[in-house]
Amino acid sequence: MYQRILVAIDSSHAAQRALAEAIGNARASGGRLILVHALEEPADAIGANPYAAEYVRGLNEDTKQAAADLLDRARDRAAAAGVQAEAVLLEPGAAPVAERIVQSARDRKADLIVMGTHGRHGVKRVMLGSNAHGVLRVADVPVLLVRTP
């Protein structure tokens, strides 16, 4: 059974379903959760605006606070189910989100990664990208994808 379960969290319905699945797995195995949210850089397009620096600072602070609140709610949900959880906020970086999630799993010695997926395929997936697909490609531990109905 899995003892250190990393859960990639965002505000999507798929992520909330993934959290529920991870909580159930952790309860069954006596494991603990590592809740991870990866921040992304604001759009580069605003960089040409002379007022952009102040705007980006405010946006970054708002985004960080929203992410911290999201992680706190997830940790509270796990605690209510009797599951220990730590929250990790991944700062924006040069690596894609999927690679930062996998690196976080390595750093924290996770033995399972759980994340939601929207089940997009074809052109939609190519155009929108897929963090879940990226994690599957580079993860060196099992990955459980929880799909929305």
Q: How do the domains of the chain map onto residue ranges? A: 4-147
> 4-147 — its CATH code?
3.40.50.620
Say what the pLDDT of residue 44 is. Answer: 47
Question: In the sheet where 4-8 sits, what is the strand order?
Answer: 85-90, 32-38, 4-8, 112-117, 143-147
pTM of the model: 0.85
Chain centre to alpha carbon of residue 17: 13
Say what the pLDDT of residue 128 is. Answer: 42
Residue 57 vs residue 108, higher pLDDT: 108
What is the mean pLDDT of the segment spanning 139-146?
Answer: 96
| Whether the predicted pLDDT of 123 surpasses 60 | no
Quick check: 102 and 113 in contact, CB under 8 A?
yes
Q: What is the pLDDT of residues 13-67, one digit of tens each?
A: 999 999 999 999 999 999 999 999 999 876 544 555 666 656 666 667 888 899 9
